[in-house]
Structure 1
Amino acid sequence: MSNLRLKIAFWNYDRTRPLTDGTVKFDGVDASFSSTPIVSEIFERMIRQHEFDVSELGLTYYLRTLDFDEPPFIALPVFPNRCFRHSAIFVNTSSGIKKPQDFAGKTIGEFAVYGHDAGVWPKGILSDEYGVTPDQCRWIVGGLDFPMSPIDFIPRPHPANVDVSMVPEGKELGEMLQTGEIDALIAADVPKCVLDKAPQVARLFPDYKSVEREYYKRTGIFPIMHTVVIRRDVLVQHPGLAQVIYRGFCDAKDAAIEQYRTGMIFNNMGTMIPWLSQLLDEDRQVLGDDWWKYGVAANRKAIDTFLRYHFEQGLSQRRLTCEDIFVPELLET
């Protein structure tokens, strides 16, 4: 596999940066790396043009490609983006929503696409833990604080009994939340009106850190947003490549963990964020020394939960398992 040239794309994460700066290398691979300011641009280029040999993909974006007649990708159990999502739910303060159960009967905005990665998790949690299912709400999908063209490079299914429409032309979900045109919003990104502390908007869970930590302690789930995929045709041509790519991502993650650990010696002066070392200590107490764990075994519960939500929300044609979505030779990781 010496000097195998590969095009690889992912966002500029701290746990992938050791690959792009050369600290960590893929064994026997001459890699050229690409990134974009908005990670979904990588998704589109990979799905439309198969532009990269290896690429980060949103988990729901990848799962939807499995419904193609000839699925072009298969995933590695690498998860560069994961985030707790109780904090992704925002409400208009005049909507009458005081608790999760109040979502029933309301009009909810959702960023980008019905069932984006940061939307699948909150919908599933609202259903599992509070008894509010998507069919009890009306959904409006669109851009957050800027006009956004419909995402048309993946299938966009939703159950027939769920009311889903696109944001009206000239409207944006952030503004609609502030004016009360929608009652609530689920979004991976924080709307400007929330950042500006507009009095008309709030989070459903104001103390979201405590809620999310309690959720993790109770369930053991650190929600997964994105995975890494490899083109199936490339894998056929180069047996064993999946293990090489997986190992490289693991080594890069381990290098980032070590950088944070040693950074505490010098008070993390690379960022100088006040009390960052204390936060790292607190996170280790809750999540362990490696909260970005890769591999199937350490993440099976989180993955299976997402796959169940994806099917229940009408986004998958069948109930998938880890064995359906990951490279077979990495299922024992």
Structure 2
Amino acid sequence: MSTELTIGTYRYEHTEALFDGRVKIDGVDAALATEPLVSDLFRNMLQGRYDIAELGLTYFLRTFDLQDPPFMALPIFPNRNFRHSAIFVNTEAGIEKPQDLAGKTLGEFALFGHDAGIWPKGILSDEYGVSADQCRWVIGGTNHPVPAFDWLPQPVPDGVHVRHAGDGRTLGAMLASGEIDALISVDVPQAMMQGSTKIARLFPDYENVERDYYRRTGIFPPMHIIAVRKDLVHHGEELRSVYRAFVQAKELAQRTYLEDALKQHMSLVTPWFSSLFERNRSLLGEDWWPYGLHANRTAVDTFLRYHHEQGLSKNLLTNRDIFVPEFLHT
């Protein structure tokens, strides 16, 4: 008899095969769901509406400071991105290099320490000597007002000044007007997309900067994991099936790109994509979006360290603390 599980994940190209039935989860009667916003998945998982679901890494890790942490993780990383490109500056704020951020007022999307903010803040500290306590912080939505999330712990470390943007305010508009000097955001400011000269990226040549970062560190930064209710941790066979299914769905998406390369990706509307694809394969390898802990250990260890250093985890967590034990050797 199949085990019934409610599973939530965003509908990415590398999870699409789970939704359209090309990949089945053996031994599981899966009620698969997605949400209009990926943050809706986070909120609903934290509120107990899923058995297994995609969670932003910081949303997941903050639960380990609760009296009874409710989740463990599978080493599935459905969302990842390089994040030097997530730092935007007002072009009149006198910010020419990363060190110029010290003493400035920075916006941050959604909360102090969102997933796409922890990575660049950690990199700024490690590589440029700029730490969060050297800046002032304003939290809010980039292109649309976002209220303070009230469904997860939001610690702010001592010595760091954080306030929420006022009602109806957006960080993108505040950046364009000079009310804040810089912004760390998963979303690109709309004004920049519309050609505003008031906003630029801190790293204009971000692609080459991010490629160099990967060459030096081997880190392709993960943003999200797949969380499991702790009472399901001992359902080994079912969790192995879930893991295998996510791997298979991801591999199907990768295979499509490999097969399309024979036809120079003429099914896509992006010109010169084949050139980009070959450069990425040369740098990232044949499995450019790896699951499993072995291929992601350095990245996960780095994120855990950043999360603790930025005052978001009381304790420095390890892989053994957060992953279902059976998957530590994947």
Instruction: Give a deviation string over 1:147-202, Cα, whole Å, max 9, x none.
Output: 11111111100111011111122211000000000000000111101111201110
Kindly state the Cα deviation for residue 24 of structure 1 after the two structures are TM-superposed: 1.0
Match for 1:21: what amino acid?
Answer: D
Equivalent residues of 1:109, 1:182 under 8 A apart:
yes
User: Match of 2:150?
Assistant: 152
Equivalent residues of 1:178, 1:193 under 8 A apart:
yes
Q: How many residue pairs get matched?
A: 330
Quote the Cα distance in structure 1 between the aligned partners of 2:35 and 2:273: 27
Match for 2:91: what amino acid?
Answer: T
Kindly state the Cα deviation for residue 121 of structure 1 after the two structures are TM-superposed: 0.4
Q: Which segments of 5 or more consecutive residues in structure 2 lack a partner in the other structure?
A: none
Q: Which 4+ runs in 1 deviate beyond 3 A? A: none
Kindly state the Cα deviation for residue 37 of structure 1 after the two structures are TM-superposed: 2.3
Match for 2:12: what amino acid?
Answer: Y
Kindly state the Cα deviation for residue 263 of structure 1 after the two structures are TM-superposed: 1.5
User: Match of 1:189?
Assistant: 187
Identity, % of aligned pairs? 54
What SS does structure 1 have at the residue aligned with 2:39?
Answer: helix
Equivalent residues of 2:236, 2:326 under 8 A apart:
no
User: Match of 2:176?
Assistant: 178
Kindly state the Cα deviation for residue 94 of structure 1 after the two structures are TM-superposed: 0.5
CA RMSD of aligned residues (A): 1.1
What SS does structure 2 have at the residue aligned with 1:6?
Answer: strand
What SS does structure 2 have at the residue aligned with 1:266?
Answer: coil
What SS does structure 2 have at the residue aligned with 1:66?
Answer: helix
User: Match of 2:282?
Assistant: 285
Equivalent residues of 1:235, 1:241 under 8 A apart:
no
Match for 2:286: what amino acid?
Answer: D
What SS does structure 2 have at the residue aligned with 1:5?
Answer: strand
Quote the Cα distance in structure 1 between the aligned partners of 2:232 and 2:125: 39
Match for 2:211: what amino acid?
Answer: R
Kindly state the Cα deviation for residue 208 of structure 1 after the two structures are TM-superposed: 0.4
Kindly report which structure 2 residues correspond to 1:36-115, keeping only aligned pairs within 5 A, or say none: 36-48=35-47, 50-115=48-113
Kindly state the Cα deviation for residue 65 of structure 1 after the two structures are TM-superposed: 1.0
Kindly state the Cα deviation for residue 81 of structure 1 after the two structures are TM-superposed: 0.4
User: Match of 1:308?
Assistant: 305
Quote the Cα distance in structure 2 between the aligned partners of 1:321 and 1:194: 39
User: Match of 1:276?
Assistant: 273
Equivalent residues of 1:242, 1:327 under 8 A apart:
no
Q: TM (normalized to structure 2)? A: 0.98
User: Match of 2:33?
Assistant: 34
Quote the Cα distance in structure 1 between the aligned partners of 2:232 and 2:306: 30
Quote the Cα distance in structure 1 between the aligned partners of 2:46 and 2:184: 24
Q: Does residue 241 of the first structure (1) align with residue 199 of the second (2)?
A: no
Instruction: Give a deviation string over 1:107-139, Cα, whole Å, max 9, x none.
Output: 000000100000000000000000000000000
Quote the Cα distance in structure 2 between the aligned partners of 1:306 and 1:3: 36
